[in-house]
């Protein structure tokens, strides 16, 4: 019988088939090597920079051109990683905005929306950060082709609402406004209205206000019409102190923060 292939050969064969991810259980099943032998071999490959493990038991092959950064782009493996975790997801916030051409403010991390608290993961120099939404499976997404398959990316409209809902992940309000200005070229005003029932009313108010402030009030017009039927209560633009501030009547919003849009 031919000898079992060593782990490095197994990884090379995987890569030759266009696959860049695998699990420890898969290795054990396909090589029939013991748990200890597999662990030792995987540790050696990690030390050599040939593989990286963003989550225990899940591995990503690192091609030579990505050895310096320690990992290929997250788009190469995020779909398989989330499937391994058994969690619904979509690429979100600034990462999604960049895929839609709003790349003025490039995120330092890869941002993902999922349905439960998930700690940040590291793959070489790459950080993957997670936000949580109970509507992750209802919000509109698109399937985007990647170098290794596909991944779920928030639509421009889903991204717009997320930017005001998750202000820290968006780099706070001024940065969110800057990104919205670029993203607005891809936003369908009617699609915003279709999504509005899925999000909190304050998110609708804040998004509409920001679109007005960056000169895209025409895009926000159908949203303003929809909002009139919901009897919104006045809210601050930024959660916190909002005394002695004149209300924006169109959005029932108290603009308690000065926006600095980077045009």
Given a contact cutoff of 8 angstroms between Cβ atoms, the answer to whether 77 and 20 are in contact is yes
Does 38 lie in the same domain as 123? no
Pair (59, 89) in one structural domain: no
Residues of the domain holding 145: 74-254
User: Would you say residue 257 has pLDDT above 90?
Assistant: no
The answer to the question of residue 261 being in a domain is no
Question: For the chain, what percent of residues have pLDDT higher than 90?
Answer: 77
Classify residue 243: in a domain, yes or no.
yes
- Does residue 209 surpass a pLDDT of 50? yes
Q: Report which of 80, 78, 82, 111 is spatially closest to residue 97, judged by C-alpha positions.
A: 111
Pick the more confident residue, 9 or 223: 223
Per-residue confidence (pLDDT) for residue 104, from 0 to 100: 64
| β partners of residue 152 | 143
In terms of domains, do 26 and 83 share one?
Answer: no
Are 231 and 105 members of one domain? yes
Looking at 66, 93, 111, the residue that finishes a domain is 66
- Cα separation of 256 and 187, whole Å? 26
Residues 26 and 135 in one domain: no
DSSP character at residue 32: -
User: Is the same domain home to 126 and 249?
Assistant: yes
Whether 135 maps to a domain, the answer reads yes
pLDDT at 193 over 60: yes
The pLDDT, as a whole number, for residue 157 is: 98
Shared domain for 38 and 98, answered yes or no, is: no
Q: Residue 22's domain is classified under what CATH number? A: 1.10.10
The residue from 25, 41, 66 where one domain ends is 66
Count up the domains in the chain and report the number.
Answer: 2
Same structural domain for residues 56 and 106? no
Whether 220 and 148 share a structural domain:
yes
Pick the last residue of a domain from 42, 66, 90: 66
- Is 259 within a domain? no
Q: What is the pLDDT of residues 132-164, one digit of tens each?
A: 999 999 999 999 999 999 999 999 999 999 999
| Tokens describing residue 127 | 């950080």
What average pLDDT is seen over the chain? 92
Token reading at 89: 């997801």
pLDDT digits (tens, 9 = 90+) for 129-139: 999 999 999 99
- Check: CB of residue 10 under 8 Å from CB of residue 23: no
Cα gap 227→197, rounded to integer Å: 10
Please indicate, yes or no, whether residues 31 and 139 belong to a single structural domain of this protein.
no
Query: Residue 245 — pLDDT band, cuts 50, 70, 90?
Result: confident
């Amino acid at each position: 019988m031919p000898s079992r292939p060593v782990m490095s050969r197994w990884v090379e064969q995987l890569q030759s088939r266009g696959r860049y991810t695998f699990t420890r259980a898969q290795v054990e099943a396909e090589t029939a090597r013991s748990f200890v032998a597999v662990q030792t071999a995987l540790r050696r490959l990690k030390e050599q920079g040939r593989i990286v493990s963003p989550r225990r038991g899940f591995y990503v092959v690192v091609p030579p051109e990505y050895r310096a950064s320690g990992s290929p782009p997250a788009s190469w493996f995020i779909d398989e990683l989330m499937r391994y975790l058994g969690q619904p997801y979509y690429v979100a916030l600034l990462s999604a905005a960049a895929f839609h051409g709003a790349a003025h403010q490039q995120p330092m991390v890869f941002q993902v929306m999922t349905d439960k608290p998930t700690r940040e993961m590291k793959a070489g120099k790459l950080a993957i950060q997670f936000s949580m939404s109970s509507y992750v499976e209802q919000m509109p997404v698109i399937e985007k082709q990647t170098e290794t398959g596909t991944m779920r990316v928030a639509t421009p409209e889903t991204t717009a609402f997320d930017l005001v809902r998750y202000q820290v992940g968006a780099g706070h309000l001024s940065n969110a406004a800057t990104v919205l200005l670029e993203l607005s070229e891809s936003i369908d005003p009617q699609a915003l209205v279709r999504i509005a029932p899925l999000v909190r009313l304050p998110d609708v108010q804040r998004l509409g206000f920001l679109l007005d402030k960056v000169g895209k009030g025409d895009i926000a017009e159908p949203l303003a019409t929809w909002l009139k039927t919901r009897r919104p209560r006045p809210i601050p633009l930024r959660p916190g102190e909002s005394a002695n501030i004149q209300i924006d009547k169109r959005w029932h919003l108290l603009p308690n923060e000065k926006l600095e849009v980077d045009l």
